[in-house]
Each structure stands twice: as structure tokens, then as C-alpha cells.
Structure 1
Amino acid sequence: MDPVTVILTALVAGTSSAAVQESSRALCGAVRNRLTRGRDTHGQDATDPADPAALEAYLQDPAGQHERLARALAKAGAGRDAELIEAARRVLATTHPGAAGSVGAYLADLREARGVVVGDHASQTNHFS
């Protein structure tokens, strides 16, 4: 899984526990800092920030703003920011211990799905005629 996807996934993986809220705040702060600071194509600090408003838009509408924030994170060099990636992994480790190395467990594209239930230990019975 690419680092930007790890960061995006962790941003929406939070729950109400204090540990998750704390790690989520740290992650949001790190993302906000990265987007405000920006990076140029050579990984150096840039004078042009990478759409700092993209984070707030994503937190309000993750599905609708996913591509915008992904582009902003890529422009800002987030995929090469070891501290930011580690902050994302801490959120995922807190929300689902043991699964943080397997970010694919958090990704599901259900835009065209019908009769689907999502979640750990979930069950559903469908009767089709």
C-alpha cells in the first residue's frame, strides 16, 4: 500500500477512544503542517503550499474529497515523510491492533454495491427472489 493511501486511510479510521483521538489529532496536525509547508519536486521546502484546505474538506467529506487530498499530499511530498507515515500507522495500530501493516483491510469501494454490510464481525442475511 502506498504511503499516501496509508495516511488517507488513517485519517478516517478514528473512534471515540482517548488514545485514538490523541493519535488522530497528532496525525491531522502533521498533515496540516505538511500541506501548509509544501514540498517541491525535489523534496525541498516549497514556497507554494499544497492546498492546505484539502484536509478540512476531506474530514467533512472523505469520499468526495479523497482525490483532492491525495493530490495535495503527493504534491507536498507526504509519501516521503517518515514521521507523517508513522503517525498514520499509529492511528491504524490504535484503531485495529495487529492490522496496521495490512492497510488493505480498511479499503472498500462500495459506490455501486447493494446489500452490503461492512465491519469487523458483521453479518447479514439476504433473500433474493
Structure 2
Amino acid sequence: MDPVSLITAALAAGLTNLSNTAVADAYAALKRLLFQRSGGQPEDNGVLDTATAEDPQTRATLEERLRAIRADTDPEVVRAAAQLLALTDPEGSQAGKYQVTVTSSQGVVIGDHNQTTQHFTGT
């Protein structure tokens, strides 16, 4: 799973399991990290809360924002997202479903139910 998908999945899982105190705490910690990485932009709180949206455009906006703040390259954010997913899906986590290792890559798409459009220019 690519880092952006991991973070998006973690945000969605956290939003749908907030009744569990450990999940709520892990979700709040991830969201706090993302908010800090964004420079504390107030509009980011609303964008982060769209993780459960089914609308592809809303999902794309969230993914673009995560990339813009470079959340996908921040080990602390990725680790926090993986920890949140481990709480919400222990079986998947133990099976390695949320393990991410991507280096020196471009256009990597990994995970469940992906839709992507990629445009690359000369290297």
C-alpha cells in the first residue's frame, strides 16, 4: 500500500471507529501530526475529515493535500497511520497488509480498490 493510501485508510478507519478510546486517541494523534505538517492551516481539518467520502473528487482532494504537505514522505506520519490501522484491523496488520516500503519510485500504486491517473514529464 502506498503511503497516501495508508494515511487515507487510517483516517477513514479512525473516523468510523471513534467509539473505541484507543482508536480515537490514535486518530487524534495522526490528525494532530497532519495538522502540524500543514502549518496549521484551518481548512486542512475539514479536508482530513473527508477520508470516508465515496466521491472520487473529494478523495482526490484529500490525497492531493496529503502529498502537498509531504505527509507521504514523513516517517512519523506513516508510522502513526500504520499504528491506527493496526488498532482498527489487527488481522490485516499482522498479515502485512499495511506495510509500506517505497524508495526512489514514481507512479507506484498499491492497495485495495485503487483508481489513479498519472502524468509524467521527461526525466
TM-score higher than 0.5:
yes
Residue matched to 1:63: 54
Aligned length: 94
TM-score for both structures, normalised by structure 1: 0.63
User: How far apart are 1:10 and its partner, in Å?
Assistant: 0.2
Aligned ranges for residues 45-84 of structure 1 at < 5 Å?
Answer: 53-60=43-50, 62-64=53-55, 65-84=58-77
Alignment gaps of 5+ in structure 2: 99-110, 115-123
Question: Larger radius of gyration, structure 1 or 2?
Answer: 1
Q: Distance in 2 between matches of 1:58 and 1:92?
A: 16
Residue matched to 2:29: 26
User: How far apart are 1:52 and its partner, in Å?
Assistant: 5.4
Q: Distance in 2 between matches of 1:34 and 1:62?
A: 22
Alpha carbons 1:4, 1:74 under 8 Å: kept? yes
What value does the CA root-mean-square deviation take over the aligned residues? 2.2
The alignment-based identity, stated in percent, is 31
User: Are 2:87 and 1:102 aligned?
Assistant: no
Alpha carbons 1:35, 1:52 under 8 Å: kept? no
Moved more, 19-28 or 65-74: 65-74
Change (3 A) 1:17 1:81: same
Q: Distance in 1 between matches of 2:29 and 2:73?
A: 18
Q: Distance in 2 between matches of 1:96 and 1:4?
A: 18
Q: Distance in 1 between matches of 2:92 and 2:36?
A: 27
Structure 1 residue identity aligned to 2:86: A
The higher-RCO structure (CA 8 Å, 6+ apart) is 2
TM-score for both structures, normalised by structure 2: 0.65
Residue matched to 2:6: 6
Q: Distance in 2 between matches of 1:57 and 1:72?
A: 8
Q: Distance in 2 between matches of 1:53 and 1:36?
A: 11
Q: Distance in 2 between matches of 1:25 and 1:66?
A: 20
SS of 2:49's equivalent in the other structure is helix
User: How far apart are 1:93 and its partner, in Å?
Assistant: 0.2
